[in-house]
A and B are shown apart, each in its own frame.
Chain A
Amino acid sequence: MAEKQSEGNVKIHVSHLSKSFGKLEVLKDISVDVHEGEVVVVIGPSGSGKSTFLRCLNRLETATGGEITVDGENILDRRTDINHVRQNIGMVFQHFNLFPHMDVLKNLMMAPLELKKDDKERMEQTAMQMLKKVGMDEKAHAYPDQLSGGQQQRVAIARALCMHPDIMLFDEPTSALDPEMVGEVLEVMKELASEGMTMVVVTHEMGFAREVGDRLLFMDGGYIVEQGDPREVLSNPQEKRTKDFLSKVL
């Protein structure tokens, strides 16, 4: 972690995080810092706890132990206004989770409108701007079920961006997509990364990890087994479990 100091302030600080579902201990002892503008890619076999780790960061799952601070706010403290913290953390899901009863534009504008982020006209401008950014401005009035998976995921990213978050979490954003649609979503994510967005990405896309990631975390069995520069870890893994995993997926 020390070698990443050049990246700037710590945006997310996690220390000794643990999470159990009943008797099942999914996360055992996770400590990691994410710095401003950093793209952290999390890989690992299924059941290793990487999605749970990500979901703990905006308290979609409540950690059982340890400490998580986001922008200096302790999100495990019951007095913390989690809704306020979440407005600064965008999240993109594997299954997009667009609201099927609203068209694309309404999907983008619903939360900012409800939370009164801005006046309606300016919000609509922002929404259209975000749609343009992800190349979906022509579909502003389509309904989610009229869009392909890749299109839906790009809308989902735009929806998160409309809250002007400074952290984005991606939970296997391309795993539910047909292969030919993976590229268009990764392209949008790459652009976000180049604009300096702080990102934590759970993915199986090793190419993306290598090309865009600043740091790679390999998780297994509820621990971070190995971490470092993605190119380094992917081509020259140190730990046996990392080697085993990479030999299966690469």
Chain B
Amino acid sequence: MAYILSNYGSLLLRAMGQTLLLALSGLFFASIIGLIFGLLAVVHNKACNVIETVFVDVIRGVPMIVLAYFVYFGIPYFLNNMMGQNVTLSALTAGTICLSLNCGAYMAEIIRAGIQSVDPGQMEAARSLGLPYGKAMRKVVMPQAIRTMIPTIINQFIITLKDTSILSVIGFPELVNSAKNVVANTFRSFQTWFIVAVMYLIIILALSKAAKVIERRLNRGRKAV
């Protein structure tokens, strides 16, 4: 254990940084995608609703490892050989695209469900005061929806963070990919994988703790006497 830590510790730490970088950029775009598609699902417009359903069904219906191969290898192949373009995708870009599409689809469903869990009377009350739809959504419905969505969103963030490991298959130097190299060099698989497991555990425990704090803070405002 000490051998691995002293010789490969900094490499694994750097890999952990890459994992976090990938996860954060993925989550950032996933939140935007989730918000856009979540709203598409709740507006009173059939076409918008259908777009959301199709997006979610397609992304949820494809395993992320397949999505990763498709984005990283398939799409450049298509562009280069069939469209005559010269395109290369970095592993980070491809990984971010995969994570944001995958996590974005689940986020869209979480946001849709969160908004729909708010009593329709709230929207009606806001609209009857003369507020336009967007303002009513932002000021009245969303703040209530977010309160119920937070635990599920954090859960999805944790899943996505762990899913970054899948992107080791396209050669992104995140934690799992780097650990594989360490094992290949040292044959010390027990020690290496144990350290990697602990590293994931620490990040995720920190994230869970942060989530609890946010949740408590959100609930504090309301029932304060």
Binding site for B on A (CB under 8 A): 58, 60, 83-84, 86-87, 89-91, 93, 95, 97-101, 110-111, 114-115, 143, 145-146, 156, 159-160, 163
Task: Judge whether A60 and B127 touch: CB under 8 Å.
Answer: yes
Chain A residues near B221 (CB-CB < 8 A)? 101
Task: Judge whether B131 and A83 touch: CB under 8 Å.
Answer: yes
Chain B residues near A58 (CB-CB < 8 A)? 128
- A111 CA to B147 CA in the complex, in Å? 22
Task: Judge whether B129 and A159 touch: CB under 8 Å.
Answer: yes
Chain B residues near A87 (CB-CB < 8 A)? 129-130
- A194 CA to B164 CA in the complex, in Å? 68
- A101 CA to B223 CA in the complex, in Å? 9
Contact of B139 with A by CB under 8 A: yes
Give chain B nearest CB distance to A175 CB in angstroms.
14
Chain B residues near A90 (CB-CB < 8 A)? 128
**8 Å CB contact of B222 from A89, A97, A100, A111:** A100
Give chain A nearest CB distance to B129 CB in angstroms.
4
B140 (CB) vs chain A CBs: closest residue: A99
Task: Judge whether B129 and A86 touch: CB under 8 Å.
Answer: yes
Chain A residues near B222 (CB-CB < 8 A)? 100-101, 143
- A100 CA to B125 CA in the complex, in Å? 12
Task: Judge whether A145 and B223 touch: CB under 8 Å.
Answer: yes
B95-120 interface (Cβ within 8 A of A): 119
Chain A residues near B144 (CB-CB < 8 A)? 99-101
Task: Judge whether A93 and B223 touch: CB under 8 Å.
Answer: no
Chain A residues near B124 (CB-CB < 8 A)? 60, 93, 97
Contact of B122 with A by CB under 8 A: yes
Known: A110-B139, A143-B222. A160 touches B121 (CB 8 A): no
- A200 CA to B140 CA in the complex, in Å? 26
Task: Judge whether A160 and B129 touch: CB under 8 Å.
Answer: yes
- A193 CA to B131 CA in the complex, in Å? 26
Give chain A nearest CB distance to B46 CB in angstroms.
15
In the A-B complex, the 5 residue pairs with the closest CB atoms: A87-B130, A97-B125, A111-B129, A91-B128, A97-B121
A162 (CB) vs chain B CBs: closest residue: B129
Task: Judge whether A163 and B122 touch: CB under 8 Å.
Answer: no
- A98 CA to B127 CA in the complex, in Å? 13
Chain A residues near B212 (CB-CB < 8 A)? none
Chain A residues near B128 (CB-CB < 8 A)? 58, 60, 86, 89-91, 160
Q: List 6 interface pairs A-B (beta carbons < 8 Å), by A numbering.
A: A86-B129, A95-B121, A97-B121, A101-B143, A101-B147, A110-B139
Task: Judge whether A111 and B127 touch: CB under 8 Å.
Answer: no
- A89 CA to B131 CA in the complex, in Å? 12
Task: Judge whether B130 and A83 touch: CB under 8 Å.
Answer: yes
Give chain A nearest CB distance to B177 CB in angstroms.
44
